[in-house]
Amino acid sequence: MKLLFFLLFALLQPPQLDSEKIFWNENEKLRWTDFRGNPLRTANFVASTNTGLSFQYSYSIKNGAVNVEYSVESFFNPEGSWYIPERVNAHILRHEQAHFDIS
């Protein structure tokens, strides 16, 4: 049931333009300038990283054999991510990077 809910939620999300997303790359790290959302100053935390997964797939059937090709990419959503400038530091940025890394 949880999987069904997750799939419905994921499929019903409005698509984002790829230009708005920062796709994960092991050689690229987030910078505070990537966080463009409005800070939630009443939150119990000082930064929020909004990430997601993008996936594509295709399949073909040839001589009764099914061939499936797919790709899955993690992305960072700048507009949904925010921080409170006067309350963050390099340690917090590394923490937010870790959220992106594990997504």
Which pLDDT score, from 0 to 100, does residue 9 have? 58
Average pLDDT across each block of 10 residues of the chain; the chain has 103 residues. List them in order.
58 60 97 98 96 96 96 98 98 98 96
51 in Cβ contact with 100 (< 8 Å): yes
**Is 4 exposed, middle or buried (CB count within 10 Å of its CB: 0-12, 13-18, 19+)?**
exposed
34 in Cβ contact with 88 (< 8 Å): no
Structure tokens at 30: 């987030």
